[in-house]
Structure 1
Amino acid sequence: MEGGTTQVLIVGAGAAGLTLGIDLARRGVSFRLVEKLPEPFHGSRGKGIQPRSQEIFEDLGVLDRLVAIGGEYPPQREYRADGSYQESFVVEPVAPTPDEPYHIPLLVPQFLTERVLRERLAELGGAVEYGVELLGFEQDADGVTARLATAEGEETVRARLLVGTDGGRSFVRRSLVIAFPGRTLAVRAVVADVTLTGVGRDAWHRWNEGDMARQMSLCPLPGTAMFQVQAPVPLEGDVDVSAEGLTRMIQERTGRSDIVVQSVSWGSAYSMNARLADRYRNGRIFLAGDAAHTHPPTGGQGLNTSVQDAYNLGWKIAAVLGGAPPDLLDTYEEERRPVAAQMLGLATRLLDAAKEGIIRRGREVHQLDIGYPGSRLAVEAPERSGGILAGDRAPDASLTGAAGQPVRLFQLLTGPHWTLVGYETARDAGPAAAKGVRVVRIGADGDLRDDAGHFAAAYGLKRGSWMLIRPDGYVGAIVEAGEMDALDSYRNDVGLGARAVRRQ
């Protein structure tokens, strides 16, 4: 059966696939998002949303919904053998600042995060096709031909590009024979979503920290009446994840007969791995999310890294399909694979610390310091030695509109466009407006005023400078007055139209 054509076929409807679908939908790119499971995943495996991902979700229009159903991490309550306990923060509370509005990870069960993403996708006209399995594919110079198994039988679909977001056991990756080196971390754990009695929802309850044979964790899941059970288990043998089996495990490890599991919504025993695909691209086919990297759960890096893969890839796909130079897509792997390697190292170090009973999280897990300073998409003219650098995350700033209303810089960045910022530039100077680029001028004569000095403090730009911020919220180019040719060349390299004509 012929299934027609689409611009992009996305295989796998987890957080990465959904994020990519949302980003393509708001850019007007046609796609199909298929998932071989018959229904959405209903477990809480990934439950932390880091500050950088919160900024992304603000741009995609879902952050407030996630905050409404989620919550902050509760204090961790570590019990001693005599039943007494001490409490501490998993994440040290830090107040937001004008340049970093989100400083504390959110706690949201994965199935609720993905439900919110599906709702947003539906608002943009997209949907997941469940019960549709990728059987095989072939690519040529013009596109990819994929075979799908559906409830109606086998279907053939033609796409310009294919993106595998189909998890750690990715069919797409294995079909491409892309190596997935790494290591098994000699830790196996059970994770389950349960309803239970015996403990309150005011803390993340922990027992026997540092004892990998008896460790036990019960974390309340916001937006639900459930707790997440986490516990290391032997590397071999069956694990009983029924209500009765989990009750026995909890009572044996805690010494508390009053904690009783009443029902299990979802449960699994899994071995922790740290693996990274050798390549993220083969011709017209890409890997993203767990298909490209798998992490231990420590530090909450896996889901967040996956979301940011998709956020990096989406605008580049749309640009190339719209006529930008094809080698723009090469920058996806160049930028994102080193980040995954860095996050794998971090998660592994945090796992080693957890084995010793140390459960603390600091700025290193927030992903706010991730950037692409060595990318070919990071241009400075002249080279800068201070302030914000090309390739850095673009900070937020509190500004005042010329009409007198407060404006956050992030509000101006929200949407699928590029943002060109002129700092203390003359009204009649600078590049002309172009499709896909929002132009704002900050300064005494600009559209926006930096009354509180937040923008100047965050960016450190010289008077007369222009800065081009990418659609994914990273600084692409910074040029000073007299270096406008460098900005013109950059715009052409990323597909922002013909060489800009400056105002006369």
Structure 2
Amino acid sequence: MAQVLIVGGGPVGMLLAAELGLQGIETTVVEKLTETHDEPRAGTLHARTVQSMLRRGYLPQPEHAYDEILEVPFHFAGRSILTLEAPAIEGPPMVGQSQADIERFFEARARANGAEILRGHQVISLDGGTVTTDQGTTITADYIVGADGARSTVRKLAGIESTCTPATFAGILGLATLEDPARCPGGWTHGRTGWTLINVNPMGPSRILTHEFTEPLPERGAEVTLDDLQQATSRIVGHDVPMEQPTFLGRFSDFTRLADTYRKGNVFLAGDAAHVHAPLGGQGLNLGLQDAFNLGWKLAMVLKGAPEHLLDTYHAERHPVAAKVIANTRAQAALMRPGPEFDPLRELVADLLSFDEPNSYLSDQITAQNVRYAPSGLVGSFLPNFPIGATTVSELLHAGRPVLLCTGEACDAAAGWKDRVDVVTHDLGRPAVLVRPDGYVAWAGQDPESALEQWFGPAA
């Protein structure tokens, strides 16, 4: 018996387990793999994920001036024409870290917070609040979260439909040794049939990605060989690129899937189980981790007595964010179509991104710093990491609890919620501001009692 059962122990599932364990929620994770696999997949943490991890104490507090902006060069649609930006006080705009290391980090946190991790178990049935694994284990839970990847068993067993768009390019990701690395172009290369992205390593395996737009495209899940990777690379680059000793080979594409709902009864979807898109801009892992930051505190609060309707906000908030990520990856794929008729469009986009405002607009999209959960104003925005006395906003959120920043009578009115909400005296130019555990502003005003009850249940 568990309060929350998470199916899938990748980075998203393990972060969710860590978040729930932090709140004392009895959590079980079921993962089919017996150990973490080191594969050359996602390896980028973007700014909003960095900022969220900072608020949970997973990263050290930055020591920068409050108004300083950090920048890193980045790519858009295969070209190095974008600059990612973020406030220095929030940490770097981008952190490079392998997906396997991220998974191990969150698994260690989940275990330390009391989560039970069952590796080597594949879910085969789902009946209400009970799942059964191929090892004969039966687990009953109040809530079940499918974080089990693009081919999610939970999504299928729960009968959750999805909206899909077909692929326009075929991609191969491989780790292989280049026989003549000096003749192989590094970084992004635009060729006759598509693009390559090659991290050339003359001393060992190189990371090679190909994106080809020639049809017919291979079937999804089709087997891939070293010869497939070598021929695709050679066609794009324009000359033979011999390679050997592959240590990893896999296919990808710009096929998209977006679950029509992230919640069906007591079943939720997170990460790739809810959304699939092309790995352009390194957004997929970050999108899933943000799902976990959004859902974890809501499940914990409801299990502690908050109103059930709080859980409906998960789909309402996260589904539109995934739709926008899917849209910008599809736009990048369209810009990457290799024909010369698209060259003027590529040059126009590059010219536009040389200006500050368009660059900031796309930077905030890729890094998710444009995400807000209300149309305008302070409510729904991500509260900046400004100083509060001897501490900061991020440090106040390390415990994963809501924070009410207030003065005078507003603080007094919150006394009945101090078992669930940290009340901090601070003047933000208004009587009270209610900050969610994920760092977004839930409410701002004069009398916090109705907002506290709406979000977190009646006073003690």
TM-score, normalised relative to structure 1: 0.75
| Equivalent position of 1:109 in the other structure | 98
Q: In the aligned structure 2, how far is the partner of 1:35 from the partner of 1:231? A: 30
Contact 2:173–2:207, Cα closer than 8 Å, also in 1: yes
Larger deviation, residues 470-479 vs 248-257: 248-257
- 8 Å contact from structure 1 (residues 73, 106) kept in 2: no
Once the two structures are superposed, the pairs formed by residues 27-66 of structure 1 within 5 Å of their partners are 27-63=23-59
1:25 aligns to 2:7 (yes or no): no
C-alpha spacing 1:157/1:351, structure 2 compared with 1 (3 Å): same
CA offset at residue 295 of structure 1?
Answer: 1.3
Greater share of residues in helix: 2
Q: Distance in 2 between matches of 1:260 and 1:63?
A: 42
What's the secondary structure of 1:63's corresponding residue?
Answer: coil
* 2:149–2:271 CA contact under 8 A, matched in 1: yes
Distance 1:194 1:122, change over 3 A: farther
Q: Equivalent residues in 2 for 1:386-425 (5 A)?
A: 388-401=377-390, 407-422=391-406, 425=408
Matched, 1:364 2:383: no
Note the C-alpha offset of 1:261: 4.3
Equivalent of 2:414 in 407, 415, 431: 431
Q: Which structure: larger Rg?
A: 1
User: Residue 138 of structure 1: which of 113, 119, 127 is its match?
Assistant: 127
* Maintained 8 Å contact 1:295/1:301: no
Q: How far 1:226 sits from its partner (Å)?
A: 5.3
Cα distance between partner residues in 1 of 2:46 and 2:74: 17
Q: Which has the higher contact order (CA 8 A, sep 6+)?
A: 2
One-letter identity of the residue aligned with 1:372: Y
Q: CA deviation at 1:64?
A: 5.6
User: What corresponds to 2:160 in structure 1?
Assistant: 178
SS in 2 for 1:185: coil
What secondary structure does 1:92 align onto? strand
Q: Distance in 2 between matches of 1:136 and 1:193?
A: 36
Percent of aligned pairs with the same residue? 28
Q: Secondary structure at the match of 1:136?
A: strand
- Equivalent pairs counted in the alignment come to 422
Q: How far does residue 247 in structure 1 lie from its aligned partner after superposition? A: 4.9
Classify the secondary structure of the residue corresponding to 2:456: coil
Offset, 1:41: 3.5
Q: Does 1:311 align with 2:293?
A: yes
- What is the Cα deviation at residue 391 of structure 1? 0.9
Consecutive aligned runs of 4 or more in structure 1 exceeding 6 Å deviation: 72-76
Structure 1 letter corresponding to 2:386: A
- 1:490 and 2:456 equivalent? no
- Please tell me whether the aligned partners of residues 73 and 90 of structure 1 are also in contact (alpha carbons under 8 angstroms): no
Counterpart Cα distance in 2 of 1:331 and 1:427: 26
Residue from 301, 305, 315 that aligns with 1:333? 315
Q: Which runs of 5+ in 1 are unaligned?
A: 66-71, 79-86, 375-384, 402-406, 444-460, 500-504
User: After superposition, what is the alpha-carbon deviation per residue over 1:1-40, rounded to whole angstroms, capped at 9, x for unaligned?
Assistant: xxxx111111111222111111011111111111123432
1:477 alignment partner AA: W
The answer for the alignment partner of 1:12 in structure 2 is: 8
Task: Give the residue type in structure 1 aligned to 2:144.
Answer: L
Distance 1:329 1:20 in 2: 15
Partners of 2:104 and 2:177 lie apart in 1 by 20
Closer, same or farther: CA 32–278 of 1 in aligned 2, 3 Å: same
CA RMSD in angstroms, aligned pairs only: 3.3
After alignment, is 430-439 or 12-21 more displaced?
430-439
Structure 2: 5+ residue stretches without partners: 62-70, 354-361
The verdict on how the C-alpha distance between 1:61 and 1:219 changes in structure 2, with shifts beyond 3 A counting, is: farther
Paired residues of 2:254 and 2:333 also in contact (CA < 8 A): no
Q: Following TM superposition, by how much is the alpha carbon of 1:266 offset from its aligned partner in structure 2, in angstroms?
A: 2.0
Distance 1:437 1:204, change over 3 A: farther
Q: Give distance in 1, aligned partners of 2:74 and 2:382.
A: 30
Shift of 1:171: 1.2
SS of corresponding position for 2:54: helix
Q: Distance in 1 between matches of 2:218 and 2:59?
A: 40
Q: Do the aligned partners of residues 64 and 88 (structure 1) sit closer, same or farther apart at CA in structure 2, a change above 3 Å counting?
A: farther
Q: Report if the CA contact (8 A) 1:23-1:60 is conserved.
A: no
Q: What is the deviation of 1:95?
A: 6.3
- Once the two structures are superposed, the pairs formed by residues 461-500 of structure 1 within 5 Å of their partners are 461-462=428-429, 464-480=430-446, 484=447, 487-495=448-456, 497-498=458-459
Change (3 A) 1:214 1:334: closer
Q: What is the Cα deviation at residue 252 of structure 1?
A: 5.6
